[in-house]
Structure 1
């Protein structure tokens, strides 16, 4: 076990990314940190607005509900919205060196690798990236792989 200080941060609209963040944080023996923003993403209109905000790179004001600045690396969990991380996670990633970020995107069945490629072409090379795709039904196996990779 190394002495790398890790922070697990997440944004979640429906609870999926929160569940995954909690499992990863538990596996690392730490508490997850919620990132919130100033928008209402509830219901079908929130879903549509989220896709619009993500696809047009609209900014949101975020609140990070915990200490993360002393971390050596970040595990950041976000749903995939319109082929991108959520606006709140995009805002957070502007505040930390991306080469210290292990980005985890969650989705129901999208092409997650193409999302990482497009995103890294925009922001730079991430420390690591992982996808958890609901239709593959391998969430727990992927989480074990992620915990091993970031330890």
Structure 2
């Protein structure tokens, strides 16, 4: 194994995408979690608020991810950027060893500093139907 696929999910979409990337690359699948309840309308609103205000939350991964390892981070798009847990995890990673996949229903990430410095950034947008294309592109890039 040569890397990790770290995912954070509220609805299960990011998990499905991460599982597909892990299967295609042989990277270890890692769950990123926090102790927050993001369910329902209140959870949705709270998620946007926490992300817009960059409120710090406690995060943890299901396995230790070495600081110098190559990672793919799969996260939903919240308030124009990565979900807060993913944003905090990304802050601990060198961008030149990090690939980022953002999933949403209708838009791409507007708030992504240093986008060009990541190994790969993919915006999976449900209304564009581009999930298969982005998963294939990142998998090919990581395996080659």
Both structures adopt the same fold (TM-score exceeding 0.5): yes
8 A contact 1:11–1:34 mirrored in 2: yes
Question: Counterpart in 2 of 1:146?
Answer: 138
Matched, 1:18 2:11: no
8 A contact 2:71–2:98 mirrored in 1: yes
8 A contact 1:35–1:65 mirrored in 2: yes
Which of 93, 117, 120 lines up with 2:113 in the alignment? 120
Alpha-carbon displacement from aligned partner over 1:84-115 (angstroms, at most 9, x marks no partner): 101100111122212211011000011x1x52
Moved over 2 A (4+): none
Q: Which runs of 5+ in 2 are unaligned?
A: none
- The separation in 2 between residues aligned to 1:124 and 1:60, in whole angstroms, is 27
8 A contact 2:120–2:138 mirrored in 1: no
Instruction: Report SS of the residue matched to 2:41.
Output: helix
**CA RMSD between the two structures:** 1.8
- The separation in 2 between residues aligned to 1:124 and 1:148, in whole angstroms, is 19
Q: 1:71 deviation in Å? A: 5.6
Q: Which runs of 5+ in 1 are unaligned?
A: none
* Normalised TM-score (structure 2): 0.91
Question: Residues 101-140 of structure 1: matches in 2 within 5 Å?
Answer: 101-110=98-107, 112=108, 115=110, 118-121=111-114, 125-140=117-132
Q: 1:124 deviation in Å? A: 8.1
Question: Residues 1-150 of structure 1: matches in 2 within 5 Å?
Answer: 5-69=2-66, 72-110=69-107, 112=108, 115=110, 118-121=111-114, 125-150=117-142
